[in-house]
Structure 1
Amino acid sequence: MQPHGPGTTAAPRMRVTGLLLLVAHLLIVGWLTLRPRTVPWVPAPNLRPLATIRAELVHGLSWEAVQHLGGPVLLLAPLGVLLPLSAGRLNVSPLVSLTRTVFAGAMIALAIELLQSGIPGRVPDVDSVLLNTLGVALVHLAVVPGARCALRRRYEEPRGATPRIPRVGVARQTDALSGGRTYL
């Protein structure tokens, strides 16, 4: 195992596993979201933030609304764990890690929506970007800080008890301050 100080990375196996899982997840997401669909009609693109979410919640929180809004939240949610895992850093500020992960998740969601604008049957929706980013942030906050803490404890070298210095006897004052000795 590698040492884990500031700026060092976790074990290479963990990083490679994270990269492989990240690539596999992105391939599946790409296959799900970028395939052309044959539909009889296509709604207009939504470029107004929160319009789709409001429209789903107009009649209250129903099972259908949860399914329509939960899908985009769950689509990119694994990135909240896979992005930090593929980076392999254990000693990172939680705020910096969250910021990096959420920004990367938002950029991936935005790229998917921009690519969808050129695919038949697919319509870009700005609310999908917001919900995808929300899913990445929630999973990151729920899993990564605790997992990093557990991994730091696991890879940290065990420290024994604090070493104690045996008590040193105090010299007599006459010996310590006597001017009769010469040391040359």
Structure 2
Amino acid sequence: MQRQGSDGSSAVIRFRATGSVLLVAHLALVAWCTLRPLDVPWVSAANLRPFASIRADLALGPEAAARAIGKGLLLLAPLGVLLPLAGGRLAVSPLLSLLRTVAAGALLSLGIELLQTGVPGQVVDVDSLLLNTVGVALAHVAVVPAARAVLRHRAEMLRRAAALRRKEASEETTQGRTPTIPRVGIAP
């Protein structure tokens, strides 16, 4: 007898395990990039005014602005995919999933900014918080709904195939096997 949902539950466990391992690896990389002390001759003051450093980056030119803004957007963007992957849920409201993921990304970014107050050479910047949160939201919107739709479709196909196999097995036991008639050769 086959356990109920055995195909789907092992896949969910694999997705959660993979998501958790990748999430921990990414967070370790982010911590190393953002919380290590830097040996710099001077440090600018903390930026607590929204969009001030973004405006300053834009004033430097398009190439420098793209690099600085892109760095802020991409730092925590993988969380937009890894947090739902570690959660392992397929049937969840897209809006609720987005809000939950963006809130977790914003809180993590805030925690990083607060921890940077005690790290030599690192400067607190409210624009980093904004860019990190937008990056998480963009990654989530770009990947998660489509990936969940594909996985839901795949899970439905697996359920249908399992139901068909169970139906065929039950018909075989209730009716018995269809008798086969051996072929009779033509006599000489």
**TM interval, short-chain normalised:** 0.7 to 0.9
* Higher share in helix: 2
Cα RMSD for the two superposed structures:
1.9
Q: CA deviation at 1:3?
A: 7.9
Amino acid at match of 1:126: V
| Number of the residue aligned with 2:36 | 35
Equivalent pair of 2:58/2:64 in contact (CA under 8 Å): no
| Number of the residue aligned with 2:20 | 19
Unaligned runs of 5+ residues in structure 2 are 164-188
Q: TM-score, normalized by length of structure 2?
A: 0.78
| Number of the residue aligned with 1:163 | none
Equivalent pair of 2:76/2:135 in contact (CA under 8 Å): yes
Equivalent pair of 2:45/2:123 in contact (CA under 8 Å): yes
* Correspondence 1:33-182 to 2 at 5 A: 33-58=34-59, 62-156=62-156, 157-158=159-160
Q: Distance in 2 between matches of 1:69 and 1:134?
A: 11
Equivalent pair of 2:72/2:132 in contact (CA under 8 Å): yes
Equivalent pair of 1:9/1:88 in contact (CA under 8 Å): no
Equivalent pair of 1:10/1:88 in contact (CA under 8 Å): no
Amino acid at match of 2:160: P
Equivalent pair of 1:2/1:11 in contact (CA under 8 Å): no
Q: TM-score, normalized by length of structure 1?
A: 0.80
Q: Distance in 1 between matches of 2:27 and 2:10?
A: 23
Q: CA deviation at 1:158?
A: 2.5
SS of match in other structure, 2:112: helix
Amino acid at match of 1:64: A
* Cα deviations by residue, 1:31-70 (Å, 9 ceiling, x for unpaired): 111000010000000001111111112355x111100111
* Cα deviations by residue, 1:50-108 (Å, 9 ceiling, x for unpaired): 11111112355x11110011101000000000000000000000000000000000000
Query: Greater CA radius of gyration, 1 or 2?
Result: 1
Q: Distance in 2 between matches of 1:10 and 1:90?
A: 12
| Count of residues in Structure 1 that have an aligned counterpart in Structure 2 | 156
Equivalent pair of 1:18/1:82 in contact (CA under 8 Å): yes
